[in-house]
Amino acid sequence: MKIEDVEKLNACSECLAWLKTQPNIETAWRTYERGDWMIGLLRKSGKDIDRKVWVRIACKCARLVLHLAKSDEAKRAIETAEAWLDGKATEIECRAAAEAADAAYAYDAADAAYAYAAAADAAEAVYAYDAAVYAADAVYAAAAVYAYAADMADIIREYVEEI
């Protein structure tokens, strides 16, 4: 892929402006500090990424903001998704954990919203037909707390070396 190809993916104008300052897409990928942009580009690019890789990314990114959660539902959702990765939980259990985290999120304070949304989406990624969409949503939810965007970018690069 080339930087010019990213324009065809309908990336946000801020992302495109930054990309145009880079010598090539490989350098851009290695230096991105915005996990939300990276996930967005991966989703739009159609890159074939294993379902379990998406779930691992979602879980790790959700854990970055877990401390914002005020009750245990978000943690349980992440742990259930991680258990599924190890063959120790079912998709139905992940769905239940995701719904519990969603319910807790609805009643919790706004500053914890990202943690619940990310955790619920991580667990939902296991259950959903299109795991990539839910895992990406988890990253977007967590990325809304910009202090963690660079950490999320590092997590993504750990599993996806290039776009």
pLDDT of residue 132: 43
* pLDDT above 70 (res 110): no
52-81 pLDDT, tens digit per residue, is 888 888 888 878 877 777 778 878 888 888
- Asked if residue 96 lies in contact with residue 77, where contact means CB atoms within 8 angstroms, the answer is no
Q: What pTM, to 2 d.p., does this model score?
A: 0.78
Q: What Å distances lie between residue 154 and 25, 29, 30, 31, 140, CA to CA?
A: 16, 10, 9, 9, 15
* pLDDT above 80 (res 28): yes
Better-predicted residue by pLDDT, 93 or 143: 93
- Average of pLDDT values for 28-55? 85
Domain boundaries, the chain: 3-45, 51-159
